[in-house]
Amino acid sequence: MKLSTRSRYGLRFMIVLARSFGTGPRLLKEIADTEGLSEKYLGQLVIPLKSAGYISAVRGSRGGYELSVDPSEITPLDVVLLLEGELISHEKAGQDSPGSLKVTTALWDQLLDAVTGVLASVTLKELAGRSIDEEHQSPMFVI
């Protein structure tokens, strides 16, 4: 049960965009560099995020990506579901092989609920806020 790189990279990408929401597009290359991952790979992860309408792209010089939805309207669950496809994939009871066990299905469902709960418990805006706070140690208000 591993979280694929798609979700991890994708979510980090989205949080970076959330941090600079409203200040114009950001370069894929720049984000890939500071996050330490391949520009080409990230370029592919980004496609479904665009098709889903979460981000928009501007080509050419001064271009890049930016959120097209307010970060308070997006949760990690949205991002992960989009990039990961199915969370905790398992055969549904009906499709199961003859002798397979309904109990495991029930357990995976519990798991799905737990995971969904955590991922939907916070918004990109909140995560972005935390990241500015905690990572850069820069005070939010200076009087």
Partner DNA sequence: ATTAAATTTGACAAAAATAATCAGGAAAAG
Partner DNA sequence: CTTTTCCTGATTATTTTTGTCAAATTTAAT
Written as six digits, the tokens of 137 are: 């140690």
Query: From the list DNA, a second copy, none, which binds 27 (C-beta under 5 to 8 Å, kind-based)?
Result: DNA
Nearest distance from C-beta of residue 125 to a second copy, angstroms: 12
Query: From the list DNA, a second copy, none, which binds 64 (C-beta under 5 to 8 Å, kind-based)?
Result: DNA
Determine if 37 is a binding residue for a second copy (CB under 8 A).
yes
> Which helix (H) or strand (E) element contains residue 69?
none
Determine if 86 is a binding residue for DNA (CB under 7 A).
no
Size of the site for DNA (CB under 7 A): 26
Written as six digits, the tokens of 99 are: 């002798």
Contact 38, 93 (CB under 8 A): no
* Rg of the chain on CA atoms, in Å: 18
Task: Go through 4-18 and write b for each residue having 16 or more CB atoms within 10 A of its CB, e for each that does not.
Answer: eebbbbbbbbbbbbb
Q: Which residues bind a second copy (CB under 8 A)?
A: 1-4, 7-8, 11-12, 15-16, 33-37, 76, 80, 84, 86-90, 97-104, 106-108, 110-111, 114-115, 117-119, 121-122, 127-128, 130-131, 134-135
